Structure 1
Amino acid sequence: MTDKTSMPIQVYSEIGRLERVILHRPSIELENLIPANLEALLFDDIPYLEAAQKEHDAFAQVLKENGVEVLYLEKLAAEAIDNGNVREEFIEEWLSESGLEPGAHYHAVKEKLTAIEDSYELILKTMTGFRKDEVKVEEGTTLIDTLDRDYPLLINPMPSLYFTRDPFATIGQGISLNHMYSETRKRETIYGKYIFQYHPVVKDNSVPLYYFRDESTYIEGGDILVLSEDVLAIGISQRTDARSIEKLAKNVFEDTDYSQVLAFLIGSNRKFMHLDTVFTMVDYDKFTIHPEIEDQLKVYTITSQDGEVKIEEETDPLEEILEAALNIEKVTLIRCGDDDPVAAAREQWNDGANTLAIAPGELIVYDRNPVTNALLEEAGIKLHKIQGSELVRGRGGPRCMSMPIYRERF
């Protein structure tokens, strides 16, 4: 395996052999999902934690068996705040973004967090949230502390954290530290902030940031695909604003060798929440795609001209756009569900198009999408099939659940 200590971030493609990845094992935060907060927390159903953990452990095991070093977000964040000696700063910032107004409960939560000696347990607790019965204060201290008595949670959990793809994205040798679409997920990026600022492996290497969590417009990692060493694809979606893409493009054009961004307008729709739910790269010349987006899809090419961002709408078929951008003779689109509208709709909803490449032409996929998986295998793609009946309840597949930070270049 390549020595990665001198340059911890290296992602110049979607398909280069994967060597190091960040995951988050689902934890007690899922136990704080209830019907009353499902919509706000972006879930359609409540996963069974024990089963979800078994499925996630099996996912991690497939990665390890194929030579991938698995790092865990929660452990990295704990190491970062210890290394930077910034526990108090972290707690203050987390509380300021928790949605809890200053008052008796706010101070009681701060005391509870400060009393947790082990930083790993502290990080897990901030992910889990707080139930009201965990914090005892005098009733009626302030009006804000007495409202909404029927809701059992004081601070909501972060149940989407096992989708580590979204809070930040690796591009080349740098990071886009994202401003998330929904209030409930904006807090998730705090862990990336501390990791890339204070973690001992990263801190001394000055990892460049191409986007910042305090920007005014939103962007998420599921919309950012690294197609090659000079081309990105970014979805204009429910979760990524077109203005954010222009900001990110300008920054990467100024600071890297990237020269082109393909902006995919896929529409603002929950079922197509990110580009990678309908389109992923699986080999040098092959991509999965959900057929339902093809008729409505618009692609814009963003380049830099004399220091200014230039935007042009593409009119060619998608295959030809990709062939030109990647400088290859022929691109094959593998359609989720084999163009059967029922199978395509079912399997896209179950993340049949959301694949994680661990090497060119070698993928991790959910086993619950047999039509799409058969098409991939017919196209010569090697599949590692994992179960995801509980994990998929959060609306995400293997790509969503992984944040590659080191891939081989080719």
Structure 2
Amino acid sequence: METGIHNTSEIGRLKKVLLHRPGGELENLMPEYLERLLFDDIPYLKEAQREHDAFADCLRNQGVEVVYLTDLVTQSIVDGDVKRDLLRQFLDESGVKDPRMRENLESYLGNLPDKEMVATMMAGVRKSQLRQGSARLGDYLSAAEDDYPFAVDPLPNLYFTRDPFATIGTGVSLHKMHTTTRNRETLFGKFIFEHHPEYKNTPRWYDRGETSSLEGGDILILSPQVLAVGISQRTREDSIDTLAETVLSHSQTFRKVLAFNIPKTRSFMHLDTVFTMVDRDKFTVHPNILASMTVFVMEIGEDGKMKIQQEDGRLEDILKEHLGLDRVTLIPCGQGSEIDAAREQWSDGSNTLAIGPGEVVVYSRNYVTNRSLEEAGIKIHVIPSAELSRGRGGPRCMSMPLWREDPQ
């Protein structure tokens, strides 16, 4: 069993991974509030769980140890003080202003067993749950006067464990998310990396208390020496300055950060929706980025100061230069067809999870892109995806590697 954090590559053999099995948070999605919660559709929970279990089993069958977010958070509640602190910070960040509502929530959540409390925090709390059994008339009146049905919003994006924090080398960046909706997700990471017996001493490259946003989907570990970060809709340049300074100054292996300037739109939400690494010299790509790109090469000079060099060119040439490769194969989503690419990019055809060099997990519905991968010599493990894909994230989005072997 691997312990601690070790992740120096996108393609090193995956040994341990963090997932979140979708829970009651998906059943607290409502059409009226989808935009607020960053969803386009409502997955059917029972089927989403079946698909997610197939994903986990696929990984286990390849020798990967699967751990779950709810379990790690529960194991981090090492005593009553930690439980009270988690509950207090969670309610602070949930924006609960009404004193009576907060009192009711503290009682309701605090009296639950630890694992059930964590799962309920993630699922969100309906006002109707708090009213059950209440002997106070005010609890019914306050709910009737405000038609918003939740005392605490659900966290439906949690099954995308890639974003709230990222493992880089032997350390972790704990993120400030772009939206308030998702920022509470990183609180669970904070408690894992402060209190969990196995992870509490992990070096911290970035912290959720920073002032600008950084999300894990924008972080790709191209090699033990090269880190790529997307300047995107959800990751700001100030955050990348901070991350690069810390990682390049204190990590054991990383020597440069490539900051890719990508379009600031929902369809290019994160760098890993633009391209992912599937082998030493092969990458899946969004067809719309095959033309020129701008990348900023960040390195620490001999004087100890950050140096930044702008480069403009094709993605293929940028990757060849900075990874020391003779050739690079780019595999376009949808085999380059305008229609197939648009459809399969919508269901994250470029967002693959490598479990070893040239071996990836893919969604079944992206069959055109999957055919391209096989034709390029990539071994694919296909998982069902009808409901999971409704959240707009692929296998890479749904996984946070905790331990990978170094690439050979």
TM bracket, shorter-chain basis: over 0.9
Distance 2:329 2:59 in 1: 26
The reply on whether 1:121 has 2:119 as its aligned counterpart is: no
Match of 2:320 in 1: 323
Distance of aligned partners of 1:112 and 1:323 in 2 relative to their CA distance in 1, 3 Å threshold = same
Superposed CA deviations along residues 5-35 of structure 1, whole A, max 9, x for unmatched, are 3xx1000000000000000000001110001
Output aligned runs, 1:238-277, within 5 Å.
238-256=233-251, 257-277=253-273
Distance of aligned partners of 1:402 and 1:83 in 2 relative to their CA distance in 1, 3 Å threshold = farther
The reply on whether 1:14 has 2:48 as its aligned counterpart is: no
The reply on whether 1:23 has 2:37 as its aligned counterpart is: no
Match of 2:126 in 1: 131
Distance 2:314 2:167 in 1: 28
CA contact (8 A) 1:51 1:390 kept: yes
Match of 1:90 in 2: 86
CA contact (8 A) 1:181 1:219 kept: yes
Distance 1:287 1:180 in 2: 27
Distance of aligned partners of 1:83 and 1:362 in 2 relative to their CA distance in 1, 3 Å threshold = farther
* Amino acid in the other structure paired with 2:121: T
Distance of aligned partners of 1:248 and 1:127 in 2 relative to their CA distance in 1, 3 Å threshold = same
Output aligned runs, 1:180-329, within 5 Å.
180-203=177-200, 206-256=201-251, 257-295=253-291, 297-305=293-301, 306-329=303-326
**How much does 1:317 deviate?**
2.2
Q: Secondary structure at the match of 1:104?
A: helix
Match of 1:153 in 2: 150
**How much does 1:315 deviate?**
2.4
Match of 2:170 in 1: 173
**How much does 1:4 deviate?**
2.5
**How much does 1:85 deviate?**
5.1
Match of 2:106 in 1: 110
* Amino acid in the other structure paired with 2:308: I
Distance of aligned partners of 1:84 and 1:380 in 2 relative to their CA distance in 1, 3 Å threshold = farther
**Structure 2, unaligned runs of 5 or more:** none
Distance of aligned partners of 1:83 and 1:309 in 2 relative to their CA distance in 1, 3 Å threshold = farther
Distance 1:14 1:368 in 2: 23
Q: Secondary structure at the match of 2:77?
A: helix
Match of 2:57 in 1: 61
**How much does 1:243 deviate?**
1.1
Match of 2:367 in 1: 370
Distance of aligned partners of 1:148 and 1:62 in 2 relative to their CA distance in 1, 3 Å threshold = farther
Distance 1:121 1:146 in 2: 24
Q: Secondary structure at the match of 2:231?
A: strand
Distance 1:53 1:296 in 2: 40
Which of 1, 4, 8 is 2:2 aligned to?
4
* Amino acid in the other structure paired with 1:132: K
Number of equivalent positions: 402
Q: Secondary structure at the match of 1:271?
A: helix
Match of 2:335 in 1: 338
Identity of aligned residues (%): 52
Distance of aligned partners of 1:83 and 1:388 in 2 relative to their CA distance in 1, 3 Å threshold = farther
CA contact (8 A) 1:223 1:276 kept: yes
Q: CA RMSD in A?
A: 1.7
**How much does 1:215 deviate?**
0.5
**How much does 1:295 deviate?**
3.3
Distance of aligned partners of 1:154 and 1:296 in 2 relative to their CA distance in 1, 3 Å threshold = farther
Match of 2:406 in 1: 409
CA contact (8 A) 2:294 2:313 kept: no
Distance 2:376 2:145 in 1: 55
Superposed CA deviations along residues 89-133 of structure 1, whole A, max 9, x for unmatched, are 1111111111211410111001111111x2111100110111111
Distance 1:320 1:277 in 2: 20
Superposed CA deviations along residues 130-153 of structure 1, whole A, max 9, x for unmatched, are 111112375668x9x569622211
* Amino acid in the other structure paired with 2:405: E
Distance 2:161 2:199 in 1: 18
**Structure 1, unaligned runs of 5 or more:** none
**How much does 1:387 deviate?**
1.0
Output aligned runs, 1:43-58, within 5 Å.
43-58=39-54
**How much does 1:84 deviate?**
8.2
CA contact (8 A) 1:279 1:353 kept: yes
CA contact (8 A) 2:333 2:349 kept: yes
Query: Structure 1 runs of 4+ off > 4 angstroms?
Result: 137-141, 145-148
Distance 1:152 1:348 in 2: 34
Distance 2:130 2:320 in 1: 58
Distance 1:356 1:299 in 2: 24
CA contact (8 A) 2:293 2:314 kept: no
Distance 1:14 1:227 in 2: 6
CA contact (8 A) 1:224 1:233 kept: yes
**How much does 1:265 deviate?**
1.1
Q: Secondary structure at the match of 1:82?
A: coil
Q: Secondary structure at the match of 1:297?
A: strand
Q: Secondary structure at the match of 2:78?
A: helix
TM-score by length of 1: 0.95
Distance 2:2 2:15 in 1: 9
